[in-house]
Amino acid sequence: MTPQQQLRSDIDSLEALLDDHEARFDPSTVGAVRETLLDARERIDRSNGRVVICLAGATGSGKSSTFNAITKLDFAAVDVRRPTTTQPSACVWGDQPANDLLDWLGVDPVRRARRESVLSEDQDDLLDNVILLDLPDHDSRVIEHARFADRLVGLVDLVVWVVDPQKYADDALHTRYLRTLGGRDAHMICVLNQIDRLTEENIERCKADIKNILADDGLPDVEVYGISALTGEGIPELREIFNEHAALAKGPNGRMRTEIRVAARRLLGDLAAVEPDVERAKEDPNLLNTVASIAGAERTSAAIEIEFVQRSIQATKWPLNRAPSKITRAQLKPTRVGTAEVTRIEAASRQVRDEINMGLPIKWQLPTQDRKVVQRAVESIPNVVKIDPKFTDPKDKWSSYRAQHFAMLGVAGVGVIFAIVFAAIQLVWGIPLGILLAAGGLVGGWMLGRKGAAEAEKEGARVRARAEEQWLPQLKDIASEALGDVDTLVDLHRRVREQLSRLA
């Protein structure tokens, strides 16, 4: 794809984006961007490979004198008493057609001159295919003149700001123009005219001062040159700069590419720098806890834990102390879902949507939640929480305790036999061995039961957590459904932002 084809493709992409999403951008921004796109198309269609350079500046800065010095023609009107430019003038180099472009730019046919007839004499064919314009004064009191200058500054390939030592810091130039042209450094230069009136030291001081002011205007890469339209000093160098720019510009592609980038950045200014984290918002603890509370997840998981612990303690008890105990069975209580529950979830989901909207521009924010969406989500709540027997019945989990309890009973039994049959012998520390074995078996079994109860409590907490984890995906789905479709709009914002970022 050629640079011009790529530029046309970018223009088409930006125009299609505006067609689809115009209502989500500021109207003034949309209007300015559409005007830029229209001008870019016209400029490309009419260019014929021409490079357009304009001289712009305030009344009395010496634009017309500079124009005449560069073209070596006394064509632009120079008025000593009232040095104003009210009509644009154009000088055309080369034999490529230019009238269509000049008509569109608004240059009157009588204000056009051609230089090809004297090219061989002056050897300035380096400016082949260049059009040089002398614009009306940007500070003209005639509104039409100022508007004309405003328009062309945004259309030409190189703007040459002509300033003089007295008014180079003029606020009108910097506030109205230069500070609004950020990002276009490559398409502007600044020339300090009338350097024949200054010492070398003052020339450098003025140039440095202008450079600093331009940096403050957001144009740090705009170069500053010194010329004298009266004596011709610096004019050959200026022509060489024009030649270099014409060689690099390759027609309007460079400038229009910059304008498309600026337009895309302007639209980006109406967007958020980054989208809210929707996935994190969907897992908002308050919303999820509200759904879980209405579903009865907490009370049901607590009942599961109680039954499991009671059954586990019964299974790990010392057999001599294993009297039947009452088991509190976990039971599902009817889940009531009515207006109050819908209102609770609606309030929680609204809070999440508000949080998402805080990260989005006003025109991209989520609309008010539809209560019917919440009602449909709430209808699924009664079917979520169920009691799975695997959570309440420990089954063979504590079989090792039963084996250990039987071992302890065996030790105690052996001890009793020893105590009866061999009562007078087998003393250990003065105590009959049978008594020690019997006591050890009984105490050991009781302690094993205590240990089992403690482990049952810990395992009960883990069982409760596993039960809640089993319900969690469905509870999250209900919370997400109650939240409504937040992904589509945020994803659309992301796609638009990424497309504009590529164009910028």
DSSP 12-39: HHHHHHHHHHGGGS-HHHHHHHHHHHHH
pLDDT tens digits for range 455-473: 888 888 888 988 998 889 9
Q: What is the pTM of this model?
A: 0.75
Confidence at residue 67, expressed as pLDDT on a 0 to 100 scale: 94
Among 226-235, 269-278, 299-308, 352-361, which is the least confidently predicted range? 299-308
Helix (H) or strand (E) holding 133: strand 130-134
Confidence at residue 120, expressed as pLDDT on a 0 to 100 scale: 42
Using alpha carbons, select from 84, 28, 40 the residue that is nearest to residue 61.
84
Under 8 Å between Cβ of 55 and 133: yes
Tell me how far apart the alpha carbons of residues 309 and 459 are, in angstroms, rounded to a whole number: 8
Q: Does residue 117 have a pLDDT over 90?
A: no
Q: Does residue 292 have a pLDDT over 80?
A: yes
pLDDT tens digits for range 21-47: 999 999 999 999 999 999 999 999 998
The rounded percent of the chain whose pLDDT value lies above 70 is 88
**What number is the average pLDDT over the span 421-433?**
61
Structure tokens at 196: 């024949």
| Non-local CB neighbours of 390 within 8 Å, separated by 6+ positions | none
The rounded percent of the chain whose pLDDT value lies above 90 is 45
Confidence at residue 151, expressed as pLDDT on a 0 to 100 scale: 85
The residue with greater pLDDT, 334 or 118, is 334
With cut-offs at 50, 70 and 90, classify the pLDDT of residue 229: very high
Confidence at residue 14, expressed as pLDDT on a 0 to 100 scale: 97
Using alpha carbons, select from 114, 66, 71, 63 the residue that is nearest to residue 87.
63
Among 75-79, 266-270, 282-286, 474-478, which is the least confidently predicted range? 75-79
Q: Does residue 428 have a pLDDT over 60?
A: no
Q: Does residue 78 have a pLDDT over 60?
A: no
Under 8 Å between Cβ of 373 and 478: no
Q: Does residue 121 have a pLDDT over 80?
A: no
Tell me how far apart the alpha carbons of residues 5 and 328 are, in angstroms, rounded to a whole number: 78
Under 8 Å between Cβ of 59 and 81: no
Q: Is 99 left (phi over 0), alpha (psi -120 to 50) or beta?
A: alpha
User: Quick one: the chain helix, strand, coil %, rounded to 5?
Assistant: 65, 10, 30
Confidence at residue 218, expressed as pLDDT on a 0 to 100 scale: 92
Confidence at residue 314, expressed as pLDDT on a 0 to 100 scale: 78
Among 114-123, 179-188, 227-236, 441-450, which is the least confidently predicted range? 114-123
Q: Does residue 431 have a pLDDT over 70?
A: no
With cut-offs at 50, 70 and 90, classify the pLDDT of residue 433: low
| Domain assignments of the chain as residue spans, ordered by start | 1-47+252-270, 50-249, 278-503
SS3 track for 179-246? HHCCCCHHHEEEEECCHHHCCHHHHHHHHHHHHHHHHHCCCCCCEEEECCCCCCCCHHHHHHHHHHHH
pLDDT tens digits for range 375-399: 998 888 888 888 888 887 787 777 7
Q: What is the pairing mode between strands 130-134 and 89-92?
A: antiparallel
> Which DSSP symbol is given to 94?
S
Tell me how far apart the alpha carbons of residues 36 and 11 are, in angstroms, rounded to a whole number: 9
Q: Which residues pair with 428 in a beta bridge?
A: 431
CA torsion, ordered 187, 193, 196, 198, to nearest 10 deg: -100
Under 8 Å between Cβ of 164 and 60: yes
Give the chain's mean pLDDT.
85
How large is the angle between the packed helices 297-316 and 399-421, nearest 10 degrees? 30
Among 84-88, 204-208, 283-287, which is the least confidently predicted range? 84-88
Confidence at residue 410, expressed as pLDDT on a 0 to 100 scale: 76
Choose the CATH number for 50-249 among 3.30.390.10, 3.40.50.2020, 3.10.200.10, 3.40.50.300: 3.40.50.300
* Amino acid code (one letter) for 316: T
Give all strands of the β-sheet with 112-114 in edge-to-edge order: 112-114, 89-92, 130-134, 51-57, 158-163, 188-192, 223-226
Confidence at residue 311, expressed as pLDDT on a 0 to 100 scale: 82
Most confident listed range (1-5, 219-223, 412-416, 436-440): 219-223
Confidence at residue 259, expressed as pLDDT on a 0 to 100 scale: 92
Q: Does residue 74 have a pLDDT over 90?
A: no
Confidence at residue 80, expressed as pLDDT on a 0 to 100 scale: 46
